[in-house]
Amino acid sequence: MTPGSTGLSARRDAAVLIVDDAPDSLSALRTQMVEQGYQTFVASSGERALELARRVHPDLILLDIVMPGMDGFETCRQLKAHPVTQRIPVIFMSARTATDDVVAGFDLGAVDYIGKPLRMPEVCARVRTQLSIRASAETQHEQAERLRTIVNNMAEGLLIIEANGRIQFTNPACDQYLGYGPEELAGRYISDLLNPLVAHEYLEYFSRYAANPETAHSHGTREVIIRHKLGKSVCMDLTLTPMFLRQPLFIGLLHDITHHKLSEDALQRAAMVDPLTKIANRRHFDSFLEKEWQRATRTGAPLSLVVLDVDHFKLYNDTLGHAAGDVCLQQVAQAIAAHALRGTDLAARYGGEEFVLLFAETDANAAAALAESVRAHIETLQLPHPRSPTSPWITVSIGVATMTPRQNDRIESLFVAADRAMYAAKEEGRNRVRINAGLPSGASGLGSVPARD
């Protein structure tokens, strides 16, 4: 086999360091190595060999054992102890061919041991073989290094998960996303990170695949909430792909979407809030009312709508200016919102100087009592209204309507009833609460004011 007939042609430029204190031997070897097409370096002592090896990083070292000063064994020991030279293959050459010597050579990390006197064709064959092994080891090493670098530097979190849900490996991005130190997640289970239902669903998918790997398919990407080490929840896109490496495994890719989620939530919240008063806007109120209306239709519970309108507000603006009007609306809004205490209550600015309050599961008497409390609250704020013909302070007129909605009832009728009551309050002198009693189901007059449960 000639060097050119194998994959070694790529290694013709391989560098070989020959270390021998005998000039004849050194020269003969050098001639051979040059003939083979290798770049050749020579050293006549162990010390010089170490120095050269650290500088030129040869691909192979042919190392004589018996030398004055540092012998070949010690030279090899020092080569193997230094990070720069420890991966360079060493072939010992020696007239000492006793088993103990050969074993000692291999124990020091040599890849081969050639007896002297040297038979040059054999030396060349052994060098070729070792260079070939070295070349493929280096390729594998480089590939592994490249993969390691990618995995350690990628922005996505990467997990390798076993079929029983045990985490085998995580990359630094994954550790960082979830607040763990290196290696801390390995050995834990996905149920430590996911909510029980989601973890169960994944485990079922894992065991289906483990039982029947050829039917494997990617689980695709889904949004999951993962428990951070500090207890908070982080929102991630998780993509799971099955693979088979001696055992069924799953590659999980985590993509952090918390920021994206936060801005999405912020946008959603902004779309629900009135920018001036910071309470719910009309759009949010309408969809909230729609849901409560459906629920009340199912449960048969009464639903109360309160409509509030600031009295003589045009005059207020005209007297104190639009900016003062804005501040006044903010104060009125806060007073109104302070009365929406349950999860099923909602206060909103419905437009201009008009506000609404929804009280679900609240009958007419309770709603009237709440409306009266809002009215009194606003009056006691004592926001001066210098030119109001009805009060020295800002006041509101309030209409209340209560319904127990049935299948064919319409939301508009609740609004119409509350509006009518509010206009009645205006006509009767403002700064008062009126109830619309003309509704088909469940309206009543202002009676005593029972507390809500």
Ligand X SMILES: Nc1nc2c(ncn2[C@@H]2O[C@H](COP(=O)(O)OP(=O)(O)OP(=O)(O)O)[C@@H](O)[C@H]2O)c(=O)[nH]1
Among 183, 326, 427, 428, binds ligand X (CB under 6 A): 326
Return the number of the residue (352 or 450) whose C-beta is nearest ligand X: 352
CB 337 within 8 A of CB 347: yes
Among residues 79, 329, 357, 378, the one that binds ligand X under rule CB under 6 A = 329
With contacts defined by CB under 6 A, name the span among 168-176, 258-266, 321-329, 370-378 that binds ligand X: 321-329
The burial class, CB within 10 Å (0-12 / 13-18 / 19+), for 109 is: middle
Within 235-294, which residues bind ligand X (CB under 6 A)? 276
Q: Considering only residues 416-435, where is the footprint of ligand X by CB under 6 A?
A: 426, 430
Q: Give the Cα separation of 190 and 206 in Å (integer).
A: 12
Residue nearest to ligand X (CB): 325
List the interface residues with ligand X, window 367-426 (CB under 6 A): 426
For the bound state, the minimum distance from the C-beta of residue 209 to ligand X, rounded and expressed in Å, comes to 60
Smallest gap from Cβ 281 to ligand X, in A, equals 12
Q: Which one-letter DSSP state was computed for residue 155? A: S
Q: Are 45 and 36 in contact (CB under 8 A)?
A: no
Question: If binding is defined by CB under 6 A, does position 313 make contact with ligand X?
Answer: yes
Which member of 64, 256, 292, 311 binds ligand X (CB under 6 A)? 311
Encoded tokens for 59: 């691909």
Q: DSSP code of 117?
A: S
Interaction between residue 128 and ligand X (CB under 6 A): no
User: Which of 50-58, 73-81, 145-153, 322-330 is the region at the interface with ligand X (rule: CB under 6 A)?
Assistant: 322-330
DSSP state of 197: H
Q: Is the dihedral of CA 21, 25, 28, 32 positive or negative?
A: negative
What are the Cα distances from residue 341, in Å, to 40, 358, 396?
88, 11, 20
Residue 336 CB, nearest distance to ligand X (Å)? 15
Decide whether 157 or 325 has the Cβ nearer to ligand X: 325
* Out of 252, 325, 399, 405, the residue judged to bind ligand X by CB under 6 A: 325
Residue 449: CB minimum distance to ligand X, A: 25
3-state secondary structure of 396: strand
Cα–Cα distance for residue pair 252/443, rounded to 1 Å: 58
Shorter beta-carbon distance to ligand X: residue 34 or 276: 276
Within 13 Å of residue 328, how many CA atoms lie on the same side as its CB? 29
322 makes contact with ligand X (CB under 6 A)? yes
Do residues 14 and 131 touch, judged by C-beta distance below 8 A? yes
Structure tokens at 265: 């939530």
Size of the site for ligand X (CB under 6 A): 17
Phi and psi at 307, nearest 5°, equal -110, 130
Interface with ligand X in residues 344-363 (CB under 6 A): 352-353
Give the list of residues 6+ apart from residue 84 with CB closer than 8 angstroms, or none. Answer: 53, 54, 57
Nearer to ligand X by Cβ, of 32 and 397: the residue is 397
**Residue 11 or 430: which CB sits closer to ligand X?**
430
Binding-site member from 64, 256, 274, 309 for ligand X (CB under 6 A): 309
Handedness of CA 36, 41, 45, 49 (dihedral sign): negative
Which residues of the shown chain bind ligand X in the complex (CB under 6 A)?
A: 276, 309-315, 317, 322, 325-326, 329, 352-353, 426, 430
